[in-house]
Every structure is written in C-alpha cells, then in structure tokens.
Chains A and B, each alone.
Chain A
C-alpha cells in the first residue's frame, strides 16, 4: 500500500512569493522572519521524501463559476497549469506547470464516489494560488506530480464544516488503501480569520485575533471535537467574511485525525495570521535527524 508520509496544513498568503523575492533593502520589516518561518516549515515536507503531493485548495472564482459550481472537485489530468492573469497582476505570482498523477486522481475519484462523496472532476484545470502558494513555500523546485482537490469555501450554499472533516477522513482512508509503492504527502491550505472586500480588511492583524488563537490550538492539538462544537457555517461569518476558508483546515484535521500536530507554528502578520502545521502519521518512515524545532505553538 501507499505510505502517507506527511500531512501539511497551512495558510496561502499570496504576497509571500513577492515579499520573499525582494532585496533586503526593499523588503518590509516582517519579511525576514516570514521567510525564516517558511523555510523552517519547508523542512517538514522535505524530510518526508514524498513521491506525490495531494493538494487541497479552493478556486477563487477563476475556473469554477456560478453557472456550474461544484462543492468538491478532483483534478484528473496529466498536467496542470498554475496561476491566473489577475494573480500575476495583483500578487506578482508567476505562471508554472505541474505534472499530474492521473492514476491517483482516478483512484481517489472512484473510491471517493463509492464512499459517499459525489465528486466532480476536471480534465483541464488551471490551479490558482490556493495550490501554487504552498508549492512556492514548501516545494519551490516543483518536481513532484500532484493531485489537486478543490473545495467550495467561497460561493454559498457551502457544505457544512462536518462535511469537510468527513471528506478529510475519507481522503485518509483512500490514500491509506491505495495499492501503490509511492510515498504520498497531503498539503492543504486555508485561512484563519480573514476579511476581503469588507470594512475589516487589511488591518494590522487578522480581523479576529481571538478566533485565530482558538483556531491554532484546535489544529495543533488535533481537537476536532472542540473545533466542530464551536464552528458552524453561520458562526464563521463573525471572525471575518472570508473565514469559511478555515473549513479547509478542518478538512486537513480530518485527514490527520484526533492527533496532535508534530509541527505547529504561526506568525501574526498584517491582514491575517499565518499558520504552519505538519503531522507525520508514521514517524518510522522518516529518515535523518529530527527537526530543529517543532514550531512556536508546541
């Protein structure tokens, strides 16, 4: 069977790429610490030596539109182009090309449908910054095939938080049972509290630091029950109008299970709190020295 060697759940701040490219004299004061934290986080994936990456993200009204909106979609293609014109314009993100793992895509679609998720699929998908940003942060050499999974956290009616957790559990079952010799890592990105296009946007911190403090503890502690008892579709409006992206973190918690993270770090930034989590389901599969740090939250 395939080996699930690492689970990473993180934010996808689209300004990181451009910030990390700036010469020191032009970089904002927070840039050095941001880059340092991301480079430390990158090690959590590198040491797992994955062969293929399952990437969980959410299309931001790029290819998926309101005339035909899936709730959960898996890409099934030999390649995926990445990033859109308005992401180049607004964030300075370059376009890039990913290899796809069609065999794993087909397996996940078949098994997912049979396990109760009527998954949509796409044979021609240009992925956006929810999937390209974690490549820039944790796998900048972009040398591994991917399976992209999109969730709808954006266009109501949305699936409820419980459904995201259930999908995460199902993804875990599917990967654990995949008849393959490959080492799989899952990387998912979401948001903590976030406001976009509303009165609380782009403040000195995320719009709801109290929610963020609770959220990073739920994730770091693997506290799925505590999270589910506190978070509903309605309650997620209060911390910020784009906070439903937190449900992608909940999906990743579903993959990891009721387990404390092996790495948990965060960074309070303008506009949002950045967060970086990793789990190693089978630590025996790791080689080399342990991580220098487990992150600021552990």
Chain B
C-alpha cells in the first residue's frame, strides 16, 4: 500500500494544468512517466535530494492508469483529491450541471459504510 504516493500523484497532477490534460489524454503514459521521474521528488527539494523508495503497487498503478476512480476509492485514496482532479478532467464531457459528479457518485453507489480508511 502506498496511499501517500497515490495522493501525491493526484495532488501534483491536479495543480499543473498541462499535466492534468496529459493525464486525461494519456493516463497510462502519464502514470508511467510520473512514477519514473516525479514520484520520488520531495516537493520543495532539488533533484539531488530525491527520496529513494517510493513506488506504486500494481493495483494502484493500474487504477491510476485506467482512470478507475472506484478502485482508487476502495484503496483509500483521499476522496477530495480524486474528485477534484476528476472534475478538472471530465466535467467538460457532461451537458447537465453536476452531471459528472452525479455519475461519479453513481459508480460508487454499491459501497456502504464504513468507507476505506484514508489515513496515510
């Protein structure tokens, strides 16, 4: 489990408009590049001071690479981060106000309490 790293992916992609678009268009390629180049970068440190041990699990990598927000929820990714990035990527594909958000919720409707633990 590397919930922290999944959250770091969602957080850093959401706050970079170019990366958000790249992830929308090429999810598998973006996840592969990000894990290789960015995953271990401490956010306010130079490259020489990279972390040496962070990596996705196979399940996390696949969920991110397939835009599978249902699995990400089940893995305990922070739901606010996932939602915010999904709105940025996919709200534009729906005609009705909140259409994307309601579709997002409907895909999670089979899940009851307690929700997966989001502590990192």
Q: How far apart are the CA atoms of A108 and B49 in the complex, in Å?
A: 35
The chain B residue with its CB closest to the CB of A234 is B114
Contacts of B115 in A (CB 8 A): 198, 237, 241
B14 within 8 A of A: yes
Report the minimum CB–CB distance from A98 to chain B (whole Å): 21
B83 within 8 A of A: yes
A196 within 8 A of B: yes
Give A177-210 interface residues, CB cut-off 8 Å to B. Answer: 196-202
B56 within 8 A of A: no
Dominant secondary structure of chain B at its interface with chain A: helix
Known interface pairs A202-B98, A238-B113; A197-B82 also in contact (CB < 8 Å)? yes
**B78 interface neighbour in A61, A86, A89, Cβ under 8 Å:** A61
Q: Please state if A60 and B80 are interface contacts (CB–CB under 8 Å).
A: yes
Report the minimum CB–CB distance from B8 to chain A (whole Å): 7
The chain B residue with its CB closest to the CB of A156 is B119
Q: How far apart are the CA atoms of A155 and B119 in the complex, in Å?
A: 7
Q: Please state if A65 and B84 are interface contacts (CB–CB under 8 Å).
A: no
Q: How far apart are the CA atoms of A80 and B114 in the complex, in Å?
A: 38
Q: Please state if A90 and B114 are interface contacts (CB–CB under 8 Å).
A: no
Contacts of A66 in B (CB 8 A): 4, 7-8, 120
Chain A interface residues (CB < 8 Å from chain B): 60-61, 65-67, 84-86, 89-90, 154-157, 196-202, 237-238, 241-242, 270
A-B contact pairs, 15 of them (CB 8 A): A61-B81, A66-B120, A67-B43, A89-B88, A196-B79, A196-B83, A197-B81, A198-B105, A198-B111, A201-B101, A238-B113, A241-B79, A242-B79, A242-B80, A270-B98
